[in-house]
Structure 1
Amino acid sequence: MDKNTQVPAVRVGVDLSKRVIQVHAVDGGGRVLTNRALARDKFLAWCALLQVGCMVVMEVSSSAHHWARALRAMGLDARIISAHLAAPYRAEGHCGKNDANDAAAICEAASRPHMRFVPVKSVEQQSLLCVHRLREGLKADRTACINRIRGLLLEFGVAVPNGSRALRLVLDELLEDGANEMNGLARMTLRRAQAQWRELDEHLAWCDERLAAHEQENPEVRRAGQLMGIGPVGASAAVATVGDFRQFKSGAQFGAWLGLVPKQHSSGGKPHLGTITKRGDAYLRTLLIQGAKSVVNTAHTRSDPISRWVLALKERSGWQKAVVALANKNARILWAVMTRGERFDPHHISLKPGATMPS
């Protein structure tokens, strides 16, 4: 919207990038007021010309939550939309993708009455998620470092049993052993790799300390961590990622948001279900599935209703399906626990409306 525009914009679609931000503004009748590119440092000044309450919608990106917080502070109705929900509204289709068309598609998608938007994360949520992202990167770097050490040792005919613990126990001895054919340069190189491994362990320990502190400070994290298969890391990630669980109408909707429900290819009244959709937050979904694996593998040691259900499902459908099913069940239980403010009870038996407790 330009300064001389007479009709105020009621909805603006924004396509974000590092240097240029494309805006597409329309009035109450859907008439296009402007579709222009703005320099990044001039975006907020342009938005200041919009009327209070104007809807400004942008796609999910690395800076979307930052811009949304800034726009809400200005009195605008800032919202975030997933890219896969806006893409079908691009008038030029898949072959007409550019910044202007993307901004127009975002603006059009936001006008749909049943459109789903991404909740805007707070600074505290994003700060904690920084720890989680760093921790995941450090884990990958540590695994690469350990595999690199193993590969270099094999170049000199030295094989070590699987597992980082086994390598840690024998690495110093191998580097001091003069019987193998490693020369001084190879030993110095492996010493440097060993120092990198230790440094990565220190960084990981720092991340774990931050997550443990978050658990101690936040009662919601402690409540979520009581579930079987959701430890301190998963609980912290869930609270930081979701924030307010009441944004979901039910536990089933929360599980669907995480991508733990099957894809549908149904037609003519015949249901056809496939693999899970894997939509939503991949990191949180991965944590839920990894936690469910440990529960499934140890279910035979417990007698609570969930463990008995998991064992029966494992015998009937296999352990892979049992793992995903338990992850979905944990997502539903997590929603119920967090929205009702109750403690997790592994012996709780849920009943459908109208059903009676068995005697």
Structure 2
Amino acid sequence: MTQCNVIAIDLAKDIFQVCIMTANGKITFNKAMSRAKLKEWLIKQQRSLVAMESCGGAHYWARLAKSLGHNVIPIPPKQVKPFRTGQKTDANDAIAIAVASRAANIKPARVLTIEEQGLQSVGKMRDLLDKQKLQLSNQVRGLLLEFGIIINKSIKNFKARIPEILEDAENQLPMPMRHSIAKLWALYSRLEEDFQVMNKGLIELTGQDKDCKKFMKLEGVGPITSMRLKIQLGSGEHFKSSRQVSACIGVTPKQHSSGGKIQLGSVGKSSCDKPLRSCLFLGARAVVAKLKNRPAKTEKEKWLKALIERRGANCASMALANKNVRTAYALMKNNTDYSPVLLAA
């Protein structure tokens, strides 16, 4: 596809900037279009390389362009920015996308299928409900603290204390305040109920998916982590190696090397899939905590136990998260099931 035109689209809600760059790098077209006009225009174009930033709406437009016979390359916005010259305008952004699509070191994003995007959306809505619950409980805790009423940490204590506080007529809470807390408590209860329903539905979805069931056999990987792994990995064709997958998720150390000297630092906290990495690490941390108090049963646990003694629990947890990611990629790529090697009796 290096000899075809590049159609670069600066995505938006209603008005899109479209740029055409020829194989020799000449800009022949750079105009704004409405959503409806862009769809009609794409149908009439000859087979091209359609490039766009991987932002809101990118999956929809990428799938549409693919269905029309075009090749598609979604590019992360951070990789497009260095190619923009002049002021930030839609026209300059579209040109930058076109130029970035020809760069040799660009790492494009993956286009999700409709099913994968639906699963991802359900997971995000579940996370939103969980976040709203936490925000609401923190707000109530903070307001009650100003009246000298303390609620200890944990959701369990919060759920137990609020009804007690509302029923206590001697805690000197003003009546308007008491009514407001009661309303927030009712809202929290509804959020909790909706969260449980959505969480149960998501667990059922992952239990029916063959790839998620494979991943859940890994140590420290549950339904939510397996769902996020499936979305990140897809069919595995987007990555060349398991090392690329680990680096993409963010469970590899940062590298600062020069003159043939390789220096590895701590694990980076930017340019990664933070929700997935957090799930992987917390799951691995739970495995490490249990393994401390019992002997190893498998070769993997033997390796992990030795690493805990040598480097500590946190380092061992990140190493296990890294190994789980690589194993998940191998399971997907080779279409095999995970079976840990038991220690000889």
TM-score (norm 1): 0.87
Give the equivalent residue in structure 1 for 2:211: 220
Q: Give the share of equivalent positions with the same residue, in percent.
A: 31
Aligned partners of 1:292 and 1:326 also within 8 Å: yes
- Once the two structures are superposed, residues 73-106 of structure 1 have per-residue CA deviations (whole angstroms, 9 ceiling, x without a partner) of 222212211122223333x2xx643322222222
Instruction: Measure, in 1, the Cα distance between the counterparts of 2:342 and 2:104.
Output: 38
2:81 alignment partner AA:
A
Aligned to 1:353: none
Between the aligned partners of 2:31 and 2:166, the Cα distance in structure 1 is 63
2:49 is aligned with 1:55: yes
Structure-to-structure mapping, 1:262-281, within 5 angstroms: 262-277=253-268, 278-281=270-273
Query: Residue 245 of structure 1: SS of its match in structure 2?
Result: coil
CA distance in 2, matches of 1:124, 1:302: 42
Q: Give the root-mean-square deviation of aligned CA atoms.
A: 2.2
Give 2:198's aligned residue. Answer: 207
1:253 maps to which of 228, 244, 248: 244
| Residue in 2 that maps onto 1:29 | 24
Which of 264, 279, 297 is the aligned partner of 2:289? Answer: 297
Distance between the aligned counterparts of 1:36 and 1:123, measured in 2?
29
Corresponding position: 1:283 with 2:278: no
Instruction: Give 1:55 shift.
Output: 0.8
Note the C-alpha offset of 1:25.
0.8
Where does residue 168 of structure 1 map in the other structure? 159
1:298-320 C-alpha deviation (Å, 9 max, x unpaired): 22235133333333323333333
Q: Does the CA contact (< 8 Å) of 1:9 and 1:50 recur in 2? A: no
Counterpart Cα distance in 2 of 1:298 and 1:312: 14
User: Which of these residues, 65, 71, 94, is aligned with residue 71 of structure 1?
Assistant: 65
Alignment check: 8 A CA contact 1:12 1:55 kept: yes
Does the CA contact (< 8 Å) of 2:207 and 2:223 recur in 1?
no
The answer on 1:179 being equivalent to 2:170 is yes
Q: Distance in 2 between matches of 1:136 and 1:348?
A: 36
Alignment partner, residue 131 of structure 1:
122
1:340 counterpart residue number: 334
219-228 vs 74-83, which moves further: 74-83
Q: How many residues align?
A: 339
Segments of 5+ residues of structure 2 without an aligned counterpart are none
Aligned equivalents of 1:84, 1:148: Cα separation in 2: 35
1:229 is matched with 220
Residue from 10, 14, 17 that aligns with 1:19: 14
Alpha-carbon distance in structure 2 between the residues aligned to 1:313 and 1:105: 46
Match of 2:96 among 98, 105, 125: 105
Do the aligned residues in 2 keep the contact of 1:296 with 1:307 (CA within 8 Å)? no
Opposite residue 139 of structure 1, the aligned amino acid is: D
- Runs of 5+ in structure 1 lacking a partner? 1-7, 350-357
Cα distance between partner residues in 2 of 1:30 and 1:302: 63
CA deviation map 1:21-59 (0-9, x unaligned): 1222122322221122222332112222310x2111101
1:319 corresponding residue in structure 2 = 313
Instruction: Describe how 1:141-160 pairs up with structure 2 within 5 A.
Output: 141-160=132-151
Q: TM-score, structure 2 length as denominator?
A: 0.90
